[in-house]
């Protein structure tokens, strides 16, 4: 795989190169959290004990974290400058992250370039303080330390962008299938689902109630509203064709985060609307218990590719989470890193790549403008920056990448890792220009795993009997 710009530092950390340990990973795990930006969630990279102000800047220079630590700019507030202030991770308000909210915050100029100075126009619901969009998560209690440990011990992407300009339902369609278009023909024409569920209720996908719909975005603006049951190939289909195993762990069948429920040939609903998914892929590979991934790891039953979706309590979603997200993510990583040798001789830490990302920006301020694709996809791609942490035994500590990525880059990595032609879906995987391989140095000796300190371990989440809340309903 390719070496990144930090090759010299990696060589110092790893020491002399060794014979290649592996040629590709046996397992890829994609952990998806909810609704945050780097500026909102990772100010801790710029302060002790994880860094200093000099560790960060707002231009993305090599070896520095691209976090803006000074005044945030907005043309809708007096003076155009907003001082930084904190908010708890488990706060009591939420911000709009609709396509319209994207347009407000982007505030595009005449050339279509985002000025990134319109966040104050993003709507807020709940107990909203002054300038609610311009807050960063308070880490005075150390609640974010597991995230910060992972970001500094392994790899961080300064320029990871969500593919879509909108909320969670289309974001998860891109993460699982490379598009939120209802069909392959719609993707080619630049027609995408751009909203969460509207109409009758919050149940998503091919089991939604009659009267439920999503709003389409097309090159002319808003398109028609359609029932949220789509038909096109997904990454799961590419894996099935090659007998590569996969699992999708999610808290419930009807969540907007449970991406397979909106793909008709995977769901195979037993009723035209309001039924249940019955397809063999659904019953075999979609696991409606997020914590089951911890059991499968300990039992040496980790699939080749896994998507891991949290419960709402552990999701980081504003005005809904209970603060458990950092510990939840640490429990999954620690389970992989500390899992003993399996009966077939496999050690998961030696051959697993872990990607930790957030599905959308959640309405929070971020200073970095996204690249906008050419027509027709450019009316909906790309969206705002989201965090991305990359973890493996072959990823150097403090490794910072300044390559521009999106959700299609994760799919592209899965393709190249499992010897699938990159861009095979012909969706976001084909439009992505990078495949994240610059985070991995497979010709170096592997790093030993060190447990990520966390207030809760796997047993806490396995024994948590509280009813799982959906990660997102707005």
Q: How confident is the model at residue 474, as a pLDDT? A: 60
**Dist. CA 304–CA 314, nearest whole Å:** 24
More confident residue, 94 or 16: 94
**Dist. CA 164–CA 409, nearest whole Å:** 13
> Does the pLDDT at position 327 exceed 80?
yes
- To the nearest whole percent, how much of the chain has pLDDT over 70? 95
CB 292 within 8 A of CB 249: yes
Tell me which of 3.20.20, 3.40.720, 1.10.10, 3.10.20 is the CATH number of domain 7-70+138-179+232-462.
Answer: 3.40.720
Mean pLDDT in the chain?
92
> Does the pLDDT at position 356 exceed 80?
yes
**Residue tagged 């959906």 (tokens):** 470
Residue 137 β-bridge partners? 87
- Domain spans of the chain? 7-70+138-179+232-462
Summarised one tens digit per residue, pLDDT across range 225-265 is: 999 999 999 999 999 999 999 999 999 999 999 999 999 99
> Does the pLDDT at position 465 exceed 80?
yes
Summarised one tens digit per residue, pLDDT across range 49-71 is: 999 888 998 777 777 999 998 87
Q: What is the CA radius of gyration of the chain?
A: 21
Summarised one tens digit per residue, pLDDT across range 357-396 is: 999 999 999 999 999 998 888 889 999 999 999 999 999 9
| Mean pLDDT computed over 28-39 | 97
| Mean pLDDT computed over 270-285 | 96
Lowest mean pLDDT among 30-34, 53-57, 69-73, 344-348: 69-73
**Residue tagged 């995230």 (tokens):** 147
Q: Is 276 helix (H, G, I), strand (E, B) or coil?
A: coil
> Does the pLDDT at position 462 exceed 90?
yes
| pLDDT band (50, 70, 90) for residue 7 | very low
Q: How confident is the model at residue 202, as a pLDDT? A: 82
| pLDDT band (50, 70, 90) for residue 471 | low
> Does the pLDDT at position 8 exceed 60?
no
pTM: 0.94
**Dist. CA 240–CA 120, nearest whole Å:** 45
CB 339 within 8 A of CB 347: yes
DSSP state of 208: P
Lowest mean pLDDT among 3-12, 46-55, 266-275, 332-341: 3-12
Q: How confident is the model at residue 15, as a pLDDT? A: 47
At 49, list the tokens: 């004990």
CB 192 within 8 A of CB 380: yes
Q: How confident is the model at residue 74, as a pLDDT? A: 79
> Does the pLDDT at position 176 exceed 60?
yes
CB 174 within 8 A of CB 187: no
- To the nearest whole percent, how much of the chain has pLDDT over 90? 82
**Residue tagged 């023909």 (tokens):** 185
**Dist. CA 264–CA 110, nearest whole Å:** 40
């Amino acid at each position: 795989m390719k070496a990144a710009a930090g090759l010299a530092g990696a060589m110092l950390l790893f020491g002399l190169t060794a014979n290649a340990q592996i040629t590709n990973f046996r397992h890829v795990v994609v952990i998806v959290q909810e609704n945050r930006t780097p500026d909102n969630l990772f100010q801790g990279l710029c302060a002790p004990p994880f860094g200093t102000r000099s560790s960060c800047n707002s231009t993305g220079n090599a070896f520095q974290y691209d976090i803006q630590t000074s005044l945030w700019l907005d043309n809708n507030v007096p003076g155009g400058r907003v001082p930084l202030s904190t908010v708890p991770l488990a706060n009591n308000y939420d911000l709009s992250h609709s396509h319209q909210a994207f347009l407000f915050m982007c505030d595009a100029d005449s050339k279509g370039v985002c000025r990134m100075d319109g966040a104050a126009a993003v709507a807020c619901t709940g107990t909203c303080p002054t300038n609610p969009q311009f807050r960063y998560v308070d880490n005075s209690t150390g609640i974010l330390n597991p995230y910060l440990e992972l970001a500094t011990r392994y790899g961080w992407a300064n320029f990871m962008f969500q593919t879509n300009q909108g909320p969670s339902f289309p974001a998860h369609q891109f993460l699982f299938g490379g598009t939120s278009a209802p069909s392959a023909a719609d993707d080619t024409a630049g027609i995408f689902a751009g909203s969460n569920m509207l109409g009758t209720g919050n149940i998503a996908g091919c089991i939604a109630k009659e009267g439920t719909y999503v709003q389409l975005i097309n090159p002319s603006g808003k398109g028609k509203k359609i029932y949220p049951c789509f038909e096109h190939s997904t990454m799961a289909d590419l894996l099935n064709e090659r007998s590569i195993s996969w699992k999708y762990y999610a808290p419930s069948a009807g969540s907007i985060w449970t991406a397979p429920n909106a793909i008709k040939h995977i769901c195979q609903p037993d009723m035209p609307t309001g039924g249940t998914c019955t397809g063999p892929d659904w019953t075999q590979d979609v696991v409606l218990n997020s914590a089951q991934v911890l059991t499968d790891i300990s039992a040496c039953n980790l699939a080749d590719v896994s998507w891991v979706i949290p419960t709402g309590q552990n999701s980081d979603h504003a005005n809904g989470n209970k603060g458990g997200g950092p510990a939840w993510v640490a429990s999954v990583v620690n389970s992989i890193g500390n899992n003993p040798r399996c009966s077939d001789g496999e050690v998961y830490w030696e051959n697993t790549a872990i990607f930790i990302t957030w599905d959308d920006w959640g309405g929070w301020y971020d200073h970095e403008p996204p690249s906008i694709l050419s027509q027709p996809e450019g009316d909906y791609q790309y969206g705002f920056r989201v965090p991305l942490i990359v973890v493996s035994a072959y990823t150097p500590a403090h490794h910072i990448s300044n390559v521009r990525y999106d959700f299609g880059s994760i799919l592209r990595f899965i393709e190249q890792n499992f010897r699938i032609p990159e861009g095979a879906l012909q969706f976001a995987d084909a439009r992505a220009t990078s495949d994240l391989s610059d985070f991995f140095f497979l010709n170096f000796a592997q790093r030993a795993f060190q447990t990520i300190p966390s207030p809760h371990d796997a047993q806490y989440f396995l024994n948590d009997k509280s009813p799982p809340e959906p990660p997102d309903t707005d």
